[in-house]
Each structure stands twice: as structure tokens, then as C-alpha cells.
Chains A and B, each alone.
Chain A
Amino acid sequence: MEGTARQKVPGGKLLIVKLRYGSRIEGAQILGDFFLHPEESLKDIEDSLVGISYDANEEEIARVVGAVMDRERIEAIGITPEAIANSVKQAMKNGMESNRA
């Protein structure tokens, strides 16, 4: 299944999450007009989402993303681990709804 979520992060930038998923996330793409240093590290964040269970909650997903950002010393401006987690769950929800329709 595929799902996309768009949000303007409160006090931040535009964040778009595109997911491919079944019972787990199979592929993730994070897009938007935010800043991330170093830029190449976005792939580390995207890769960290792969394998996360469909049933994982926002806190669990934010913890995974936060851990990668800490480990890789990623500095993000305009997005947060919590916003990414929120968009991941929203993308799953949107994917389910468009699949039903």
C-alpha cells in the first residue's frame, strides 16, 4: 500500500512523507522545504523507518528517528522527530483511506 501525508510543521517548514507499507514500512521518502545538516543524512532517517511495524505508535517512531539524529549528529531546522512520526502515521491513515475508496 502507498500513502502520503503533508503538513506544515507548527513553527517549522513543509514536511511530506511518502510511504510504501504492508504490515511494516517497506520504503519511505521524506520531502519538504526544511533544512538538514548534513544533507546526505536524510537517507539515514528514511532508512530508519523501514521495518517499523504498521502498529507502532508516534512515540515509538519518534524515538527511532530521534536516535538516528542523535547518533549521526543530524541538525534539523523546520522538522522534528515528532513531526516525522506524526506524518508517518498520517501517511498510513491516508493510504488506508484511499485504498478503501
Chain B
Amino acid sequence: MEWRVIELETHDAYTNMAIDHAVSDAVSSGTALPTIRFYKWLPSAVSIGCFQSMDDEVNIEECQRLGVDAVRRRTGGGAVYHDSKGEITYSVIGPLDAFPTGIRDSYAMICGWVIDGLSGLGINAEFAPINDIVASGKKISGNAQTRRDGVLLQHGTVLYDLDVRTMFSVLKISKEKISDKMIKSVEERVTKVRNFTDASQDDLYKALMKGFTEGKDYNVGRLSEGENRSAAHLASTIYCTKPWNFSR
């Protein structure tokens, strides 16, 4: 199978989610190849799972004060703080028959590409079902999947660095919990590439690119005009809107 790989791009949260949606639609209609894309978030953003409440999970006032975007994903899972300098995000979008039928097995397959990438930096990571990757027993990558219209979309992040204090200020956790003790507790459960290596973020990207593409027939490509139009439309009519982001 031939893949399209879209090299690292930086967009705001609404555009990033809209691109995943637009590419999923294009793959579903057969107008785009199965696609792997890498991206970052500018400004930094919070994304919440599609079954979460924005008001319950996110401190919107603090997001506005800090200029942090807040968006609802199409996928389930939890609220994530995407630091513009602290992570690399990827999406894998392909027809269902390109992946194992079982949800757990399909997570394992795609997470395996991340694990291969991290091993290129000397980081020994492993799949932690259902949707995480851990290194030294701590979460280094979270993932979420949706399956619609014959297409599987999995997006996930690899933590390069982590600004725990900002994360706590934009995610709704009571002020009392933003104590050093709580931060320590997060650092006991979550880890980052920087804890294992001096590799730069560009090194991480190159390692992930290798992990995702090795052994695959692929072309480096870009979004078609139709996908760009569709993404712009989806961003403005869904992902930027209050009815979507505050639907729960």
C-alpha cells in the first residue's frame, strides 16, 4: 500500500483538527492516499475528548488569558495540553482494511511505529494498552482513535518537554492541587524525551519519521487544494465554534 506523508507543519488547534477531518473524508472518498502527518500546535492548545465537558475540564478564562486555544476532538480520550514547544503530534489516517480489525491490535500496530521511532533515540518504550506508550513505566505518548466511513484515524502525541505548571493552570484542577506535591506526582506518572536524551526536537521528529515510514511505500506530499478548502470550511463551521466545543 502506498502512503502519503505530510511533513511537520504547525497550525492552530482548530485547523489541526479540521485537517485530520478533511483528510479522513478524502481517504474515505478515495481521493487521497492513506496519510501520515506530523504537526505542532501554535498557539499552545488544550484538546478534549469528544465525550468530555469543556466547562468541566478546561479553565477557559485562563486559556484566554494565556492565549491558549481549546478544541474538542472527534476522538474520545482525555484532555491534553499541547505545548507549542513541548511535543510532536502525528495522525495516521487510512482505510480500515489497512489495520488489524481489533481496536487494541490497531492501537498496538500504530503505537509500534512510535516505539520504533523512540528506539532510534535510544529510548526503550512499550505499548501500554489501550492507548498509551510508556518509557521506564511512565507515559510518554497518548493516542486516540476514531473509525468512521470506512476510515481509521489515530492521532497521538509524543512528549518532548512538559510545562507542568501551565498544564495545571489550563486544565481544571483545583488550585490546592497545583502544589509541588501534585506536580511531583505528575512527574512520577508522565515522562518526556528530554528525560532520556539530549536529542533536539528535530532529532525526535526525524526519529519518528523513520519509525513511521520504515518499510513502507510512501511519498512525501501535501494536502490537495480540495483538502485545504475542506479543512478551512470544517475549521470555521465546526472546530472554531461554540456549539461544537461546548456541546457537552
Contact = CB atoms under 8 A, between A and B. Distances in A.
Contact of A16 (B56, B74, B76): B56
Contact of A31 (B51, B103, B130): B51
B76 A33 contact: yes
Contacts of B147: 37-38
Given A16-B56, A38-B147, A75-B103, A29 B76 contact: no
A91 to B, nearest CB: 15
A32 to B, nearest CB: 6
A84 to B, nearest CB: 12
Contacts of A32: 49, 51-52
B248 A78 contact: no
A33 B103 contact: no
A69 to B, nearest CB: 15
A30 B51 contact: yes
B51 A77 contact: no
A59 B53 CA distance: 28
A interface, size bucket: 10 to 19
Contact of B74 (A34, A39, A75, A78): A39
A37 B130 contact: no
Contacts of A31: 51-53, 56, 248
A20 to B, nearest CB: 15
A14 B79 CA distance: 12
Contact of A35 (B53, B56, B76, B148): B76
B184 to A, nearest CB: 21
Which of A14, A31, A36 is the most central at the interface, judged by chain B CB atoms within 10 Å of its CB? A31
Given A33-B49, A33-B77, 18 more contacts: A13-B78, A29-B248, A31-B52, A32-B49, A33-B51, A33-B76, A33-B78, A34-B51, A35-B76, A35-B130, A35-B131, A38-B147, A39-B50, A39-B75, A39-B146, A39-B148, A75-B103, A78-B130
